Amino acid sequence: MDQKVALIILNWNGWEDTIECLESVCQIDYPSFEIIVVDNASQDNSIERIEEYCRDGIRPSSKFFEYSQKNKPIIVRKYTKKESEAVTRVDKEGDKLASHRKLTIILNDENYGFAEGCNAGIRFAMRNRPRYVLLLNNDTVVDPEFLRELVELAETDPNYGFIGPKVYYYDYDGRADVINSVGGCLIIKKGTTRQIGVGQIDQGQFNKPIEVDYVEGSCLLIRADVISDIGLLDPAYFMYWEETDWCIRGRKAGYKAIYAPKSKIWHKSAASNVGPQKNEYYRTRNAFWFLKKHASSEEYVSFIIYFFLFRIYFFTILLLIKGDLQKLACFCKGVFDGIRMVQNDPARTDH
């Protein structure tokens, strides 16, 4: 029996990417899923464009699929964030429809970032009692079998709490076989992470499942039971480190993060971020937050020594050479707010 999956796509001023992603999702071979698009208060008419796509009024093109007129959602439900939190049984009207023929849109009243934006979709999805929840970046295109492969591996072991695919670059100098990630590695004593396989041409070197420290957030399948056990994404992060935090919380509860080699997606990478300066702020601030939350005393001291004796020095020199004073200011503010554990989310006002 195919297990039900709630598939959540977060959109923020990125409707062109979102409809390309939706078209690829509507062509997958997995029969039991629901699509939830969460919009973080976009200001580019994203909702109108997504609805137009559902009416066959916009036809996305892609080198990864041929557009089809036959797979569009014919039921489109829209809820405000507040309304979505009050809904109970939401799927009765569309029970007899194929999964790709219905779409739910949640309209957030502000830009809540990745973590809380996704949480709005997760809260809604959990009321329909799915077996799994899938977080999928809107700037991705998926292989028709990607979801089946994720679920099939997940079903082999109840301790597989987080499952991720083989992520390729959408376009790497014209190539579509260059790996972006097969999972993440945490170097906790340095407060850094590394994407396994990044930049490598796929020659079969990652064709077996491997346990990883975390699943990269562009495509992350999680058991609904794990969410009930450890809770939602931590909204304080806003963006960056939130999926790592989730997976480490899961590890502490006994769940594993695993890479599914037969599941494939293509990722445009950083198409929906808030700009390089603010990206640096969140990366830096959240590293301190993550380490304070999860590192041992020894690991945190090691991180502090590495950061202040090496990383901050070389990074500051590099930015001064480049003349990027704005990014340097965001970096310094990230350090300051990270140490003080201050939640200062400048991107929330940048709709």
**DSSP secondary structure letters along 9-34:** EEESS-HHHHHHHHHHHTT-S--SEE
Residue 71 and residue 156 in contact, taking contact as beta carbons nearer than 8 Å: no
What gap in Å lies between CA 183 and CA 28, rounded to an integer? 22
- Residues 28-82 have pLDDT tens digits of 999 999 999 999 999 999 999 999 999 999 999 999 999 998 899 988 999 999 9
Q: Which domain holds residue 48?
A: 5-267
User: 35: Cβ–Cβ under 8 A, 6 or more apart, which residues?
Assistant: 7, 9, 22, 25, 26, 73, 99, 100, 102, 103, 104
Provide the number of structural domains found in the chain.
2
| Same domain? 51 vs 98 | yes
- Residues 8-28 have pLDDT tens digits of 999 999 999 999 999 999 999
- Asked if residue 243 has pLDDT above 70, the reply is yes
Helix or strand run (H / E) with residue 162: strand 160-169
| Same domain? 147 vs 191 | yes
| Same domain? 328 vs 214 | no
331: left (phi over 0), alpha (psi -120 to 50) or beta: alpha
CATH code of 164's domain: 3.90.550.10
| Same domain? 30 vs 81 | yes
Select from 267, 296, 311 the last residue of a domain: 267
| Same domain? 100 vs 194 | yes
Residue 343 and residue 235 in contact, taking contact as beta carbons nearer than 8 Å: no
Q: Which two tokens stand for residue 186?
A: 């945490």
Q: Which two tokens stand for residue 41?
A: 């208060």
Beta strands 192-195 and 210-212, pairing class: unpaired
Q: What does the pLDDT average to over 255-280?
A: 83
| Same domain? 262 vs 343 | no
What gap in Å lies between CA 172 and CA 274, rounded to an integer? 22
- Global pTM reads 0.92
| Same domain? 310 vs 207 | no
| Same domain? 184 vs 332 | no
Q: Mean pLDDT for the chain?
A: 91
- Residues 179-221 have pLDDT tens digits of 999 999 999 999 999 999 999 999 999 999 999 999 999 999 9
- Residues 98-133 have pLDDT tens digits of 888 899 999 999 999 999 999 999 999 999 899 999
- Asked if residue 275 has pLDDT above 70, the reply is no
What distances in angstroms separate CA 134 from CA 7, 69, 161, 338, one per listed residue? 5, 25, 12, 30
